[in-house]
Structure 1
Amino acid sequence: MMRFSVLDNLAAAIEGVGSEQFYPSMCEYLRGCLEFDNVIVVIFVGTNVPHIAHARHYGPDVFRFVDEQYLSGAYLLDPVYHFHLRRGDAGLYRLLDVAPDQFRSSRYYKWYYGRIGIFDEISVILPVSRNTTITISMGKDSSSESTFSQKAEEGLRKHKSVIMAVLKAHWNALDAPHLTIPRATSLADSLREELKGNHGISISTRQAEVALLILQGHSSPSIGSQLGVSTETVKVFRKQLYRRCDISSQAELFGLFMPMLGRANIAK
């Protein structure tokens, strides 16, 4: 009966290709492949504010902060958003597969993921053009108070080729225009301008880059790898940054920069 149900839902998704019913039907098909508590479809186009194509929760409303916090600026620190920007390969990924090495201990993780109550997440990530990525993130929350088992993940992976093929078919059926995204001011430079204008604090572009990587959850060695410098050099940048901002912790750094992220993005 379960197998028939999965095939039935797949048929509904295929019938919905190119229509507004596609993502709801696709997510029902996916739930037959992997038992999840919530699901959200996010479309990333260049550096634009993400588009939420579909969201559904079967327990507590884990998406209650999406509009006021995620879309207003928190997405700029999201690991999946940065995976999209660096044009990662299509596939099925757990959140920690694409996140920085210290993501779970970052202030951002505790502030956003800790508040929404998602315990685990597996995402379908599919770049569909040079600047567009479709993502479908399936989560576990307090409804089940557990993470996805390896067996459950392996069961989903058996459907990978079908999932990707149907998503590609939907995108092609939309005849979506290949949007040309204008070159944007770097986020680091936008934040420098915000910091100078609102707090009278001047920092270098490199110091702003280090600040963003710290907030994303990168350790000093990981930041060094990202920027092509030594760990010791990163520590020097970090000390200079904290001294310039008159702060002494990541929590204070987060408190200083987070309100500016949304405004900096709007300025692009």
Structure 2
Amino acid sequence: MIEQIGKPSMPLALDQMLQQTAVFDLSVVFGYPFDTRPLLLYDGYRDYAAPIALQNYLNGAYLLDPFYTAAVQGREPGVWRMRELAPDSFFDSEFFSSTEVHPCISLQPGSLVEEIGFLVPLEGGFNAVYSLMRSKGSPFTNDEMAKLSELEPVVRQTIRAHWRHVGPVERQPKLDDLMETAFESFCRDRLTYQQRRIVQLILRGHSNLSIGQIISVTEGTVKIHRQNIYKRLEISSQQELFVMFVQSILSKSSGNSDIYISKSSK
């Protein structure tokens, strides 16, 4: 595997090495600069992920991914289960279950059982995430996670060496509103600052209780805020809120009105 550093064959060799420790079905490496869309450094979806789901993810839905949040917020390097990084209601969220914006869920042979990721700081000044996914069977065991943690320094240095020339990315003009500011600009003319903050937490998978703890209000107050948000946006569900947000960021990223997610999808 080390002999493949700098060659196109390195990511596959890395997969093959780790398969001897913990079997997985799919893998991918994303670079996550803070101020532009992710870089797809290695596509190990092996044609199982729907192309449109990957396109939608790269065009803006990544903003809802816990691994993206961990990468741009400077979470310490290591191997992480997604559930260790995700908000408390993330796995009930529209993003996690959407086959149109979440590539891991769009698998034809099965659904995602678990995703884990190696968080790796690159020399270019931003973090990469090397994700391993199981689409069948059971989640990674504690023993497998322990063995992968032992290999983490090797994985980290291999990825850093292989992608050492991946430097800072220039922000693309069409993506000005696709970074963290996407949440701030979303429905700015229809929602208050507090309401936009709550929308961000809802979309990222926080429950009413969790939102209340973050913004220091009661769970009941959050429920009232949620009702007022839906009323102002003329919607009636979290699913419609999710679709509205994704349509907003995808239309801005494409520069036109071509949207790849329908209101009837779940």
**1:61 aligns to what SS in structure 2?**
coil
Residue of structure 1 aligned with 2:86, choices 92, 99, 120 = 99
8 Å CA contact 1:126, 1:135 repeated in 2: yes
Give the aligned partner of residue 37 of structure 1: 25
- Aligned pairs for 1:47-86 (under 5 A) are 47-57=35-45, 61-62=48-49, 64-86=51-73
8 Å CA contact 2:186, 2:196 repeated in 1: yes
**2:28 aligns to what SS in structure 1?**
strand
**1:71 aligns to what SS in structure 2?**
helix
The CA RMSD over aligned residues, in Å, is 2.7
Give the aligned partner of residue 201 of structure 2: 213
8 Å CA contact 1:187, 1:264 repeated in 2: no
CA distance in 2, matches of 1:86, 1:192: 24
The structure whose residues are more often helix, as a share, is 1
Give the aligned partner of residue 255 of structure 1: 243
Identity of aligned residues (%): 26
Residue of structure 2 aligned with 1:119, choices 113, 116, 122 = 113
TM-score normalised by length of structure 1: 0.78
- Note the C-alpha offset of 1:55: 2.0
| Pair member with larger Rg | 1
8 Å CA contact 1:224, 1:230 repeated in 2: yes
Give the aligned partner of residue 199 of structure 1: none
8 Å CA contact 1:190, 1:264 repeated in 2: no
Does structure 1 residue 188 correspond to structure 2 residue 183?
yes
Distance 1:256 1:179, change over 3 A: closer
Give the aligned partner of residue 160 of structure 1: 152
Cα-to-partner distance string for 1:87-111 (whole Å, 9 max, x where unaligned): 1111101111111110111111111
- Note the C-alpha offset of 1:130: 7.8
- Note the C-alpha offset of 1:124: 0.6
- Aligned pairs for 1:129-148 (under 5 A) are 131-142=125-136, 145-148=137-140
Does structure 1 residue 46 correspond to structure 2 residue 34?
yes
Cα-to-partner distance string for 1:169-205 (whole Å, 9 max, x where unaligned): 3344x3x434576995511233225xx5xxxxx1123
8 Å CA contact 2:123, 2:160 repeated in 1: no
**1:159 aligns to what SS in structure 2?**
helix
CA distance in 2, matches of 1:53, 1:63: 18
Stretches of structure 1 that go unaligned for 5 or more consecutive residues are 1-11, 197-201
Give the aligned partner of residue 3 of structure 1: none
8 Å CA contact 1:43, 1:135 repeated in 2: yes
**1:158 aligns to what SS in structure 2?**
helix
8 Å CA contact 2:72, 2:127 repeated in 1: no
